[in-house]
Structures are given as C-alpha cells and as structure tokens.
Amino acid sequence: MKTQTSHRNLALDSLRGFSTILIVVYHTSFVSGYTVAHADSIGAYIDRLNIGVAIFFVLSGFLIFRPFAHSLIHGSPLPKTRNYYLKRAARILPGYWLALFVLAGLDALTIVNTSGFIRNVFIVHSFTENNVFTGIRQAWTLAIEMSFYVVVPAFAYVFVRQARRRIASVSVATLLKALSALFLGAYAFRLFIHQIDFWFLDTAHIWLPSHMDTLALGMGLAVLVEAPASAKTLSKLKNFIANHTGSLVVCSVFVWLISANINMAIGLNRTEFHIDLLGHFLYGIASVLLVAPFCVDSQALLVKAMSFRLFTWLGTISYGIYLWHMAFLGGNFAEKYMPYTENDGQVLLRFLVVLPASIAIASLSYYVLERPTMRAINKRFTLK
C-alpha cells in the first residue's frame, strides 16, 4: 500500500521545470549582454528571474524533508540513512559527472588546475574563492543541495533521540519552532559573514547556512502537509491555501515585482548589505507563496494545468537542462560552435538554440544514464 508520502505530485515536477526555464532565460539574457544594457528598464526584471533558484530550494526542502516529517509526526521509523544517501547520490552524481567530464573534454569549462577539478568532481568547489565559478559554473547550487542532503537526517535524528526519552512522535509545534530557528539562523549567519572579514568566508554567501531559510520554508510546507487533522490551525491553513491558489500566486508575483524595484545588483555583483538581505527575503516569500498550493494538492485549474504531460516531462529532465545549458551560452565551446558571441545582445537567437539543445542532451542523459541508475538503486535500496 502506498503511503501519503509516496504519492507523486506531478505539478511539483512541472514547477521544477518552470524554475529551470527561469534560470535559462536569466542566464541567456545576462550572457548576451541584454540584461546589463537594459538594467534601467526590463533588464532589472529579467535579472530577478534568478528567483528560480529560491523556488528550487523551497521545492527541495519540501520534497527531501517530507518523508522525515511524516516519520517524526506520526511516530514511524525514519528513512534508512544509508539508503537515503545512496538515493540522493544516484539522483545527483551520474548526470553531474557525465556533464562535467564531457564538457571538460570539449573545453567548455573553466578549470583552474587539477586540484580545482577534483573539487568540481566532488562538488565542493564553492568553498574556495578561486574555484567557486569553475567547472559547471551554476553548480554552486548543487553544493548547497548536497550539503542539505547531508544534514537532513542529522536534523531529524535530534528529534528521534528526544522522542525516545518522551513520546513516540514529535509535535508539529516543536518541529515548526526548530524550523523557525533554522530560518532565523540563516539571516544571523549572513549578518555574521558581513561583519567578519575572514578570507575563508569569501564565498560563504553561497554556502548552505546562507540559504537555509529558503530550504526551511520548504521543510515547513512538509510539516504543514503531514500535520494530523487534530492540528486544527494547520488544517485550516491547508484548506485556505488549497482554496486560494490564484490569490497566492498573484501575491507571489507581486512580491517578486517588489524585489525587482529595490535596486538589487545586476548579475553576480553585490550591492548594499541590507538591500541584498531584503531581496533574499523577498525571494523566499515569493517562492513559498508560489510553491505552497502545489504542495497541498489544490484542485485549482492552475495546479491541474501544471500537471499536463509536457510540463511534467520538462520537470523530469530539468536537472540535465540546468547542468548543460550554460555550455551553449558562452565560453570556449560556444564561441567556437554557436552562431553568436558574448555580449552581442542576441537574446532570442541564443534562447532558440540553447533550450532545444539542452533539452535534447538532458533527455539523452536522463533516459540513458540517470533514470537507469535511479531505478537500479531504488530497486535495491528502499527508504524504509
């Protein structure tokens, strides 16, 4: 019999694909020079499409933590740690390693040296300034993701130890308090690295602690969904979210529009600390408002539309799209073989080349390597 947590939410797959497309458009516009050239107008809005990363983190927080939330709240055994790590590795590493080694062989990546490449291989390159944007440049998000995978079982185990001393399950209130601490801790960490000028903290703004707030928001959604009917306040909140999908999406867009009008820096530049912090906060709020209706199985037309087969398929292969698309946008490979040059303003041409090419290679990677690997691991190792 399938448990609640084993039910696959197709709309969430589509939302993952949507966030990936946002990032592709963001990168396409920036590499072409269009974003910077129009920074005082539409470029400011295009640059805010990097909210796709925050959306992905909220999704990840929800999906990864949900089995743990189910176990903690209902007093059932936690997912087996070894099997959990194997499944996460099977999802991330094969596709990543394929992209990394193929693109390195095609001279499509920036590699500092052998030790730097080894850091790329093990996805720890974002911890040193010289290597942070080497290899697959956008893989700094994977370093955060992998770090999150590592700490989730430890976070859950803290409550299991407590539960063994007291009761068989953990209260929803206790979990929400802990997640609130993680959320606030992310801002405390950002303030700390802003005040303390240590060389080894140069890239700390893209470490897990700096983004734990958006992940904690997703984890909070997992607690909300898994909360028992006896938690009446949360049940009412779930019903409200399910019945007001359109309003929440409109609010999400409104918050995103605010983020585009607070003078945040363009591209990889940093602006004043309080503006960066506010923008980061707004991204999290906009993302959780968008993702929440898709987590509570809303029957709204928008959620049903997002379950359309084409959208869910794009979500299924979106990881590969994310890994491969930058190679077609800029760098040595793109300069040699693509019909455009960096900062030429050719946004539409780039997009029409990059997206189909990325989809084609992502599909090949998924069906030939990623899916068979995941199926083999899933067949051999179960979470419970």
Residue 47 predicted with pLDDT over 70: yes
CB 76 within 8 A of CB 55: no
Residue 99 predicted with pLDDT over 80: yes
How large a percentage of the chain has pLDDT more than 90?
72
User: Which single residue is written with the structure tokens 């240590």?
Assistant: 198
Q: Which residues contact 141 (CB under 8 A, 6 or more apart)?
A: 53, 56, 57
Q: How far apart, in whole angstroms, are the C-alpha atoms of residue 225 and residue 73?
A: 11
Residue 2 predicted with pLDDT over 50: no
pLDDT in tens, 208-244: 999 999 999 999 999 999 999 888 999 999 999 999 9
Q: How confident is the model at residue 269 (pLDDT cuts 50, 70, 90)?
A: confident
Instruction: Give the number of C-alpha atoms closer than 13 A to the C-alpha of residue 274, restricted to the C-beta side.
Output: 0
Nearest to 243 by CA among 317, 295, 300, 188: 300
Residue 6 predicted with pLDDT over 70: no
Q: What is the pLDDT of residue 86?
A: 96
Nearest to 292 by CA among 381, 220, 383: 220
Each domain of the chain, given as residue ranges in start order, spans 4-380
Q: Running DSSP on this structure, what letter comes out for residue 135?
A: B
pLDDT in tens, 147-157: 999 999 999 98
Q: How confident is the model at residue 162 (pLDDT cuts 50, 70, 90)?
A: low
Q: Say what the pTM is.
A: 0.94
pLDDT in tens, 335-362: 899 999 888 989 999 999 999 999 999 9
Residue 96 predicted with pLDDT over 80: yes
Q: What is the pLDDT of residue 7?
A: 56
Identify the weakest region by mean pLDDT among 14-28, 77-91, 128-142: 128-142
Q: How far apart, in whole angstroms, are the C-alpha atoms of residue 53 and residue 16?
A: 10
59: exposed, middle or buried (Cβ count in 10 Å: 0-12, 13-18, 19+): buried
How large a percentage of the chain has pLDDT more than 70?
95
Q: How far apart, in whole angstroms, are the C-alpha atoms of residue 318 and residue 314?
A: 6
Residue 4 predicted with pLDDT over 50: no
Q: What is the pLDDT of residue 229?
A: 85
Q: What is the pLDDT of residue 330?
A: 87
The stretch 159-184 carries a mean pLDDT of 80
Q: What is the pLDDT of residue 98?
A: 98
User: Which single residue is written with the structure tokens 């809005």?
Assistant: 45
Residue 168 predicted with pLDDT over 70: no
Alpha helices by DSSP H, listed for 38-166, are 42-47, 51-74, 81-105, 114-121, 140-165
Q: What is the pLDDT of residue 160?
A: 78
Instruction: Give the number of C-alpha atoms closer than 13 A to the C-alpha of residue 147, restricted to the C-beta side.
Output: 20
Q: Which two tokens stand for residue 256?
A: 């995103």
Q: How confident is the model at residue 161 (pLDDT cuts 50, 70, 90)?
A: low
Q: How far apart, in whole angstroms, are the C-alpha atoms of residue 306 and residue 61?
A: 20
Residue 3 predicted with pLDDT over 50: no
